Amino acid sequence: MRTDYDYSALLSILRSYSAEEDWLEFKVNNSDPQRIGEYISALSNSAALENHPYAYLVWGVDDSTHKVIGTAFKPFEAKNGNQDLSVWLAAKTSPRIAVGFVELEVDGKHVVLLEIPAASSSPVRFDREAYIRIGSHNQRLSDYPEMERELWRHFDRNLGEKRVVQEGLSSGAIVELIATEAYFVVQGLPIPSSADLQLEKLLDEDFVRKDDNGTFSITVLGALLFARNLSAFPSLASKALRIIRYSGTGRVEASNDVTLMQGYAISFENACATVNGFISSTEEIGGGLRKDRKAYPESAIREVIANIIIHQDLTAAGSGPVVEVFSDRVEGTNPGSLLVPLARIIDAPPRARNEAMAAFLRRVRVCEERGSGFDRMEAGMESHHLPSPVVETDTGFTRIRLWGLDDLRDWPKDVRIWTCYISTCLKYIESIPVSNSVIRERLGISASNSAVVSRLLGEAIEKGYIKIEDESKGAKARRYLPFWA
């Protein structure tokens, strides 16, 4: 039961539905504990499939006319054996969900409402059996395998970004928490003069939802993209993008530490500008003009920030995306392991952990439609003759590292081999034959150092990263392929 919630208004809205929904059932006096338990399972699972946050079982309302007729059912006095009904139901339900009975008086008649949260991470079972609504009947979920598969797909899609993070809000409170005007600004659209029209667009995007009692809720997706201040959402405050600059190569002394508390869609350009501002630059003279050249290509920095935002695990409590700027490298880290095999990061079909967020950020050109952005990072690093982006991943995190090492002699051996491999992968995808000279050009070294590249190619072959396309050809005519080609 939710505190400070107008259940009388909710009941009025539920009665206004022309027919029972899969997440809504009206009863009069049926108080059989086993049947109530089956309803909890069936309605909770059906609410999840309908993308409805709650399901309801109501006593005292006629199921055909929806008129209030009252009920003799007293949930807080009911028992099953020697146990209180609510305790017995909770013990038999798994996973545990916060169901709650509410007693109301409507026109002098007693009404009982059971509020049931939608299943969120796995099917809700009662007495070890999962149920689903088929028509107006409860059926075993196992008898409907396609619906069960769809339910699991729903959990995969909605565990993170589609979860409600604040509810019971007025339209005015929505505008205070969410920068509704920014939604139109980032897309280059005119801002509607009416707040209702602005809110309508957010409802269409599922950034905001209308509650059953006429109030509004904000989803994780809406808050993360357009929050005026993420600290207003306690469970999401740790997801704000943090940018740290260190004085040297270690994490001992931080000279700058900035947390951008606005939603990602609002703060993304500021994030890029902040990181680029923390990066050192060198002065170049060309055509008689002096200009600054950043140590890292801005396109690579942009892709790192986009990747750690989009691919973060939103269910990981207490951690969010972080960019760290050192004197010799830039690192972007997000909670959540890599979704594709590390060795296939350059060519694997794109997979976004947060698909709705990724789709919207593509629309506003924060990230690209194609690929993971890693190939764009690589293209940027190649333009500066810097090492390919290095990726580390484990159970709880993924880290992208951009090395700012101009001199090949300063590159660690494993970074040289990785760069050789990634460059070979990218050229293969682009149908460019990879030879000694192609890798030399990638590394930015002269033809006189071809022996250095030959040794590097040999080491990459030894490591199993690349292979020779045709071993019958002489060294100068050899072409190289990624191991998986």
Specify the pLDDT at position 370.
52
- What local confidence, expressed as pLDDT, does residue 292 receive? 59
pLDDT at residue 355, rounded to an integer? 80
Can you give the pLDDT at residue 8? 87
Residue 384 shares a structural domain with residue 417:
no
Please tell me the predicted confidence (pLDDT) of residue 203.
Answer: 95
Two tokens, residue 144: 């409907």
Residue 157 is predicted with a pLDDT of: 64
User: Are 205 and 285 in a shared domain?
Assistant: no
Task: Indicate the average pLDDT of the chain.
Answer: 90
Q: Are 360 and 371 within one domain?
A: yes
pLDDT tens for residues 279-320?
Answer: 976 555 455 454 556 789 999 999 999 999 999 988 788 899
Residues 365 and 219 in one domain: no
Helix (H) or strand (E) holding 130: strand 129-134
Last residue of a domain, one of 406, 437, 464: 406
Q: pTM value?
A: 0.75
Same domain? For 78 and 134 the reply is yes
pLDDT of residue 166: 93
pLDDT of 83 = 92
For the purposes of burial, counting CB atoms within 10 Å of the CB of 235, is it exposed (0-12), middle (13-18) or buried (19 or more)? middle
| Residue ranges for the chain with pLDDT beneath 70 | 1-4, 20, 157-159, 281-293, 349-352, 367-372
**Which structure tokens are listed for 6?**
């107008």
pLDDT at residue 21, rounded to an integer: 82
Separation between Cα atoms, residue 83 and residue 75, nearest integer Å: 12
Number of domains observed in the structure of the chain: 4
Q: Is the domain of 181 the same as that of 274?
A: no
Answer yes or no: do 23 and 114 share one domain. Answer: yes
Structure tokens at 18: 């022309």
Burial class (CB in 10 A: 0-12, 13-18, 19+), 100: middle
Return left, alpha or beta for 432; rule: phi > 0 is left, psi -120 to 50 is alpha, else beta. Answer: beta
Q: Is 347 found in the same domain as 316? A: yes
Model pLDDT, residue 162: 82
Task: Note the pLDDT of residue 135.
Answer: 84
Is 42 inside a domain boundary?
A: yes
Boundary residue ending a domain (211, 237, 263): 237
Same domain, 357 and 424: no
Q: Are residues 418 and 391 in the same domain?
A: no
Q: What's the pLDDT score for residue 16?
A: 81
Q: How confident is the model at residue 294, as a pLDDT?
A: 76
In a domain, 1, yes or no: no
Per-residue pLDDT, 324: 98
**H-type alpha helices, 312-449:** 355-363, 374-383, 413-429, 436-443
Q: Which domain holds residue 338?
A: 240-406
Closest to 383 (Cα-Cα) out of 301, 471, 467, 480: 301
According to the model, what pLDDT value does residue 92 have?
95
Rounded CA-CA distance 302/332 in Å is: 11
